[in-house]
Every structure is written in C-alpha cells, then in structure tokens.
Structure 1
Amino acid sequence: MSAMEFRQQVKQLTGQLAGRALDSELQAWLNREHGVGSPTYSQLRQSCQRGVAEGWLCEREAAGIRYGRIFKPDKELNGFSVDVVDMNDLAGPHHRHPNGEIDLIMPLDDAAEFDAHGAGWLVYPPDSTHFPTVSKGRALVLYLLPQGSIEFTKTGVTP
C-alpha cells in the first residue's frame, strides 16, 4: 500500500460526496452505504492501519496525538483535504469547522469512541465546534475537510 493507492481509495469516496450537504442525512447515508462491514470501511481501515505502521500516515506528534494531513484539498479529491489522527483516551485542541467535517472512526480497541460515537461515520455541519475526544481506548480517525478548512481556537481550554 502506498500513499497514492490510498489517495485512489479516498478519491472514489469523495467523488460520491461532492456537492452534498454536510448534515445528519449524509451521516446516515455514509453509515448505510460505507459503514462498518462495508468494503469501503474495511479498505480504508486497513489502509490507515498500514499507513501508520509504515510511517506515511500520522507522521507528526504533539500532546500525545499522532496526526498528519496526507492530502491537501484539490480538484481530484473534490475539494477535500485528508487528515488522519491516532488518539488514545484524550482530547485534542478545540476547533471550528467553517465548512463542516466528515469523520471515519476506526477503533483499534473495540470499545474506543470518538466524540461518544463508535466505529463508523460522523458528520459535523458547517460552523460546528468541538474538542475531538477519543475515549475508552485507541482509535484512528480519518478527517475529510471541505477546502481543508479548520480553525483552531486560542483558548487553550480543555473539556
């Protein structure tokens, strides 16, 4: 598996997301069509695990979080950037999603949750905010950000 093969997997998905509203309907559709047990989920999970093990994903680390933006937004990815984080029982920095955020939650420990959600897809609408939090173990989370938009707050406050 290479970063370019991973890009092709993500490209197939983002082609289906182009122009869709980031809302609860999209979250339901993603979990129905590409959720746990689907070929998409299985392939992305396997690729992310392998990418982390091989060092081309989550190549940076700060405050106990391994992370990295593997692809900047571009036309081929329908304007989405692609980030992957590796977190274990901690909260990340508070931030805002000007254009929304699509998350694929991939627990590495069975009980692990991201923002109180288990394995599968979570969609944040435009202008939402949160402290990204993994609890009950370790998880990988793939983030798709329209136009790569994310704004970190300067409060330094943790939940």
Structure 2
Amino acid sequence: MSPIEFKGLVARVTGAIASRPLDANLQAWLNTEYAAGSEGYTGLADACRAGVEEGWLADREAGGIRYGRIFKALPDTDGFSVDVVHMNNIAGPHHVHPNGEIDLIVPLADGATFDGHAAGWCVYGPGSAHRPTVAGGSAIVLYLLPEGAIEFKKHAA
C-alpha cells in the first residue's frame, strides 16, 4: 500500500458521498454500503493499519495521540481532507466541525470504540463538536472533513 493507492481507496468513498448531506442518513448509508467486514471497509481498514505501521499515516505524536493529515482537501478527494489518528484509551482535544466530519472507525483491540461507536462509520453534522474519545483499547480513526474545516477550541471539562 502506498499513499497514492490509499488516496484511490478513499476517493471511491468520497466520490460516492460528495453530494450527500452529513447527517444520520449518510451514517446509515455508509454503515450499509461500507459496513464493517465488507470489502470496502476491510480495504480501507487494512490500508489504515498498514499506513500507521509503516509510518506514513499518523506520522506525528502529541499527548499520546498519533495523528496526521495525509491529504488536504483536494479535487481528487472531492473536497474532503483526509486525516488519520491512532488512539489508545484517551480523549483528544475538543474541536468543532464547521462543515461536519465523517469517521471510519478501525478498532485494533476487541471492544475498542470511538465516541461509543464500534467498527464502522460515524457522521457528525455541520456545526457539531466533540472531544474525540477512544475507549476499550486501541483504534485507528480515518476522518474526512469537507473543505478540511476544523476548529480547535478550549472547552471546559
């Protein structure tokens, strides 16, 4: 797997979702069309694991979280930026999604969850905010941001 091949896998998904609103319907569609265990999900999950292991994904580290933006919002990815994080029983920094966020959740440990979601997809709508949290072990999360928009803000605990 290479970054170019990885971009091709991601572009299959972004091409299918580019015109859809980021909402519960999109989350349901992704969890049907790219359900955990399906060929599409498995291809992306395997690529994320390989990229993290090889060091070209999540190539930075801060506060116990490995992270990195592999692609800015590009025409090749239908205007979505592509980031990958590797987290282990930790909460990340609070942030806002001005245009929404789409997350592919790849548990590395049995029972690991991201914001309470097991293997699969989670969609946050425009204007949503959270403190991303992995519990129950280690997980990789690929996230797609329309126009690459994300705002980190201090948030009272």
Residues 80-137 of structure 1 show CA distances to partners (whole Å, capped at 9, x for unaligned) of 0000000000000000000000000000001000001111000000000000000010
- 1:37 corresponds to: 37
Residues 2-24 of structure 1 show CA distances to partners (whole Å, capped at 9, x for unaligned) of 00000000011100011100000
- 1:128 corresponds to: 128
Q: How is 1:44-55 mapped onto 2 (pairs within 5 angstroms)?
A: 44-55=44-55
Residues 58-92 of structure 1 show CA distances to partners (whole Å, capped at 9, x for unaligned) of 10000000000000001111100000000000000
- 1:22 corresponds to: 22
- 2:79 corresponds to: 79
For structure 1, the 5+ residue unaligned runs are none
Quote the Cα distance in structure 1 between the aligned partners of 2:45 and 2:3: 14
Q: Please, what TM-score do these two structures have when normalized by structure 1?
A: 0.97
The residue type equivalent to 1:112 in the other structure is A
Q: Please, what TM-score do these two structures have when normalized by structure 2?
A: 0.98
Quote the Cα distance in structure 1 between the aligned partners of 2:140 and 2:36: 14
Quote the Cα distance in structure 1 between the aligned partners of 2:8 and 2:32: 21
RMSD: 0.7
Quote the Cα distance in structure 1 between the aligned partners of 2:95 and 2:4: 29
How many residues align structurally? 157
